[in-house]
């Protein structure tokens, strides 16, 4: 496994992390708790030391799962979790107030069975709390030793700059993959200027870039993808041309479409660390091995130019 810095001043992490959400949230996973824990442990054994969760996943049970999986090895890992998004009576409520942040942190520490969080994200910006107020709270938590760094999720460059001016950010988490490249126009240049890490979630476009999803794929009632534009049969069919493009590079390097997709992402920024998730141990290994794939600069540029010319159908949500 190759390692890289999580931002200019951040910790060293595996070049590819592990997104835990899908083990207990969003996809209707029926695995036993033991099976889920074994997937996380497999990632660790294969060299992954960066794990991402959130109190909203489940809610709560995803943090508990990760806490159990990292028992005995927690201090060898960089753990990211999130606050600021709660489910109250079936309604998602955003709350980035200092009181809410501190209350959430206490719960996360307990569920993760740890006394500090390496990277604490504000899951979404609270429109009723100035970002400077949330940032000041994070600054105090870092000073207290409760968290070691902080981040934002799904934000624009203006918000990043305002927050960073109060308390330097470690990372920003946003969706980024070959089907969704919006961060390239505004957010990524800002992060490069500031030396802040980018942590792409859904780096494989919720499984689409694995090449295993077709127009005939049936999603369970509990799988959130059945509601998304991107996974309607006609949209899947339209985006097959992108998969065929990636497949040509996969054949050239004798790897999988997913590995090409992750290797391309890694090439976009030195402080970029994708966090693909999976419920399968063999996929864990496949994803992590993408960090060892060295595509030539010429092939990366050719792939980027081809992607630029290939229209993407549908929206992510």
Annotated active-site positions, please?
Answer: 57
Q: How far apart are CA 302 and CA 86, in angstroms?
A: 43
Crossing angle of helices 297-309 and 257-266, in 10° steps, is 100
The structure tokens listed for 291 are 């960090």
The structure tokens listed for 304 are 């980027």
Closest CA to 84 of 74, 69, 98, 71: 98
Cβ–Cβ < 8 Å for 170, 7 = yes
Q: For residue 239, how far is the Cα from the chain centroid?
A: 22
Give the containing element (helix H, strand E) for 44.
helix 33-45
Q: How far apart are CA 150 and CA 74, in angstroms?
A: 18
Q: Residue 241, Cβ neighbours under 10 Å: how many?
A: 12
Cβ–Cβ < 8 Å for 94, 84 = yes
Cβ–Cβ < 8 Å for 46, 54 = no
Crossing angle of helices 187-194 and 157-166, in 10° steps, is 30
Torsion of CA 171, 175, 176, 182, to 10 degrees: -100
Residue 90 sits at the vertex; the CA angle it makes with 89 and 93, to the nearest 5 degrees, is 85
Q: Longest Cα pair distance anywhere in the chain, in angstroms? A: 53
């Amino acid at each position: 496994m190759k390692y890289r810095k999580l931002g200019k001043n951040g910790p060293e992490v595996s070049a590819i992390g592990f997104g835990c959400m899908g083990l207990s949230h969003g996809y209707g996973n029926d695995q036993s708790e033991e099976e889920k824990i074994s997937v996380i442990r497999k990632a660790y054994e294969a060299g992954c030391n960066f794990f991402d969760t959130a109190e909203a996943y489940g809610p709560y049970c995803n943090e508990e799962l990760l806490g159990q999986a990292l028992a005995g090895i927690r201090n060898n890992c960089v753990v990211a979790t999130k606050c600021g998004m709660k489910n109250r009576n079936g309604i998602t409520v955003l709350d980035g107030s200092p009181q809410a942040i501190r209350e959430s942190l206490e719960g996360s520490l307990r569920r993760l069975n740890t006394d500090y969080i390496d990277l604490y994200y504000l899951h979404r910006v609270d429109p009723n709390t100035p970002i400077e107020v949330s940032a000041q709270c994070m600054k105090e938590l870092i000073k207290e030793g409760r968290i070691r760094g902080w981040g934002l999720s799904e934000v624009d460059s203006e918000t990043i700059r305002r927050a960073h001016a109060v308390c330097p950010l470690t990372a920003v988490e946003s969706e980024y993959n070959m089907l969704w490249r919006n961060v390239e126009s505004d957010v990524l240049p800002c992060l490069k200027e500031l030396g802040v890490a980018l942590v792409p979630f859904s780096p494989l476009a919720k499984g689409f870039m694995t090449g295993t999803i077709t127009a005939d794929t049936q999603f369970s009632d509990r799988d959130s993808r059945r509601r998304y534009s991107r996974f309607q049969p006609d949209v899947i069919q339209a985006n097959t041309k992108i998969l065929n493009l990636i497949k040509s590079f996969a054949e050239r390097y004798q790897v999988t479409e997913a590995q090409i997709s992750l290797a391309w992402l890694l090439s976009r920024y030195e402080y970029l660390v994708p966090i693909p998730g999976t419920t399968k141990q063999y996929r864990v290994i496949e994803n992590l091995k993408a960090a060892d794939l060295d595509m030539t600069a010429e092939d990366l540029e050719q792939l980027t130019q081809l992607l630029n010319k290939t229209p993407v159908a549908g929206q992510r949500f």
